[in-house]
């Protein structure tokens, strides 16, 4: 199952809306995301658990810059 179908499943099951930011989309499509698909889903489910009244979740990234020793791009799920 692709991550996008898993997003749709979460949206219908929990009656939420996921908003994918541009940096998040680019990291997924370009294979730059450090987090696994399971890790991204876990982060979303954690937000659902801790913020049950929030029906909108924004997906973004936290990325390394030129000062970092290692290159990374982590997913960030933010209740809104």
Domain chopping of the chain, boundaries:
3-79
**Which residue from 14, 6, 2 is spatially nearest to 47, judged by alpha carbons?**
14
Rounded mean pLDDT for each run of 10 residues along the chain, 80 residues in total: 93 97 95 96 97 96 91 95
Quick one: pLDDT at residue 75?
97
List all residues 6 or more positions away from 18 whose beta carbon is below 8 Å from its beta carbon. Answer: 7, 10, 11, 44, 57, 59
Quick one: pLDDT at residue 1?
78
Quick one: pLDDT at residue 66?
87
């Amino acid at each position: 199952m692709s991550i996008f179908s898993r997003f749709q499943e979460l949206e219908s099951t929990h009656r939420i809306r996921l908003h994918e930011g541009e940096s998040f989309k680019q990291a997924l499509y370009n294979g730059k995301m450090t987090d696994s698909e399971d890790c991204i889903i876990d982060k979303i489910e954690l937000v659902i658990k801790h913020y049950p009244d929030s029906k909108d979740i924004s997906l973004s990234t936290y990325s390394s810059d030129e000062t970092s020793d290692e290159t990374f791009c982590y997913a960030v799920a933010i209740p809104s």
